[in-house]
Amino acid sequence: MVSQEIEIAGLNKSFGQGAAAFQALRDIDLTIASGEFFTLLGPSGCGKTTLLRIIAGFEQPSAGTLRINGRDVTGLGPNKRPVNTVFQSYALFPHMSLADNIGFGLKMQGKPRAEIRATVAEMLQLVRMEAMADRRPSEISGGQQQRVALARALAPRPRVLLLDEPLSALDLKLRKEMQSELKRLQSETGITFVFVTHDQEEALTMSDRIAVMSAGHILQLGAPQEIYNTPVNRFVADFIGDTNFLKLRVKAVEGGAAVLELPGGKTAQASLPEGMAPTTGALVTAVIRPEQAEAAAPGTGDLQATVESATFFGTDTHLHLTLADAQGFVLRRQNRPGQPAPAPQSRLGLALAPGALRVLKD
């Protein structure tokens, strides 16, 4: 049985008093398993960093309880919780060597020198920086500084490591490298990671589970594949990756699926959210991801489209299309040698992947 590392019940957080109060978090109920890589994902102002700071002890909730490893820590300060935090700024001591930076927290805890030396050596090996122990922070790159900050946070062996957008200051290539590095560190240490980001790619590539947040609420909680493939509403579908939204009319409802009339007259089956049963003739919002359709010869496939423009992304090209009823559609096509993008105003068909079309609750 998987134990729960973090248990949050009925948690609310308000800033200010009376009518002017701002409610940052609303009725948060959440459990995070021991050894899980868990991500809080959402736009700026959604409450994700406030929730992280409450777990860390830097903020106190207005209501609700927080338990870590079965212990109620709701009113305890940061130094009395088995957690450590890595912030956006690495905050390394510039006058200290990397080894001394990593061992600083252990020294403040009064650990024996031999234990500090052994732990520092272990952490340097974990982040693959053994040969740089005597360097100063100014003598290493930003990515290496991030590794040192991680090593320093891991050295006291916390039960939970909190990461507040720690990769945001890195360039794209280095950020991707550090995504793999973070996942490796979490897997090797077995420590519960709680990661805050507004970057969907970071969340999808690293997380065991994701909580998508908006306006202080958790809108959807699940594995990356579940969040991406079966979003619960328009906000989640729009925030996680690229999505085509189509207004379509219901021709029939069969069990848990709807038969929808597509632009151009053909029909396609779409899955329905639990509890939703639209009436025949109703207009609904259906979604399909850009990679869940394929280009076909004009006059074939499920949809007919006119090419408006093409955007080259290296590995693939995004074709911006207009359907027969003037609705927009983006098709993601993998690039292959000798395959030019179709010319603007040219025609093509679209074949939809079976089961890819989904109806959303607006």
From first to last of the 362 residues of the chain, give the pLDDT tens digit.
458 999 999 999 999 888 888 999 999 999 999 999 999 999 999 999 999 999 999 999 999 999 999 999 998 999 899 999 988 777 889 999 999 999 998 998 899 999 999 999 999 998 888 999 999 999 998 888 888 988 998 999 999 999 998 887 777 787 888 888 889 889 988 999 999 999 998 999 999 999 999 999 999 999 999 999 999 999 999 999 899 999 999 999 988 899 999 999 999 999 998 888 889 999 999 999 999 999 999 999 999 999 999 999 999 999 999 999 999 999 999 999 888 889 999 999 999 999 899 999 86
Cα gap 236→229, rounded to integer Å? 10
Q: How many other β-carbons are positioned within 10 Å of the β-carbon of residue 256?
A: 11
Q: Report which DSSP code applies to 144.
A: H
Q: Is the domain of 193 the same as that of 142? A: yes
Task: Look at residues 218, 237, 256 and tell me which one is the last residue of a structural domain.
Answer: 237
Residues 191 and 256 in one domain: no
Same domain? For 231 and 286 the reply is: no
The pTM score is 0.88
- 83 and 175 in a single domain? The answer is yes
Q: Which helix (DSSP H) or strand (DSSP E) does residue 259 occupy?
A: strand 257-261
pLDDT at 1: 46
Q: How many helices (H) and strands (E) does the chain have?
A: 8, 20
Identify the bridge partners of residue 83 per DSSP, sorted by sequence position.
160
Domain region containing 161: 4-237
CATH of the domain at 92: 3.40.50.300
- Looking at the fold, whether 56 and 182 belong to one and the same domain comes out as yes
User: What CA–CA distance (Å, rounded) separates 193 from 74?
Assistant: 19
The token pair at 103 is 């061992």
Report whether 87 contacts 164 (CB < 8 A): yes
Name the nearest CA neighbour of 306 among 348, 274, 275.
348
Do residues 152 and 166 make contact, with C-beta atoms less than 8 angstroms apart? Answer: no
Residues 257 and 142 in one domain: no
Q: Are 86 and 150 a contacting pair, CB within 8 Å?
A: yes
Domain boundary among 207, 237, 267: 237
Are 133 and 99 in contact, with CB atoms under 8 Å apart? yes
Q: Return the structure tokens found at 241.
A: 């990756």
Task: In whole angstroms, give the CA distance from residue 304 to residue 346.
Answer: 11
232 and 249 in a common domain:
no
Number of domains composing the chain: 2
Those residues with Cβ within 8 angstroms of residue 108's Cβ, 6 or more apart along the chain or in another chain: none
User: In angstroms, rounded to a whole number, what is the distance separating the alpha carbons of residues 175 and 172?
Assistant: 5
Statement to judge: residues 65 and 11 lie in one domain:
yes
Residue-wise DSSP of 193-254: EEEEES-HHHHHHH-SEEEEEETTEEEEEE-HHHHHHS-SBHHHHHHSS--EEEEEEEEEEE
Look at residue 21 in the predicted model and tell me its pLDDT.
86
Of the candidates 179, 204, 237, which is a domain's last residue?
237
CATH code assigned at 264: 2.40.50.140
Strand (E) or helix (H) holding 270: strand 267-271
**For strand 303-312 and strand 347-352, is the pairing parallel, antiparallel, or unpaired?**
antiparallel
**Is residue 349 located within the same domain as residue 326?**
yes
Same domain? For 330 and 252 the reply is: yes
Residues 75 and 188 in one domain: yes
Residues 268, 213 share a domain: no
Torsions phi, psi for 94 (to 5 deg): -65, -25
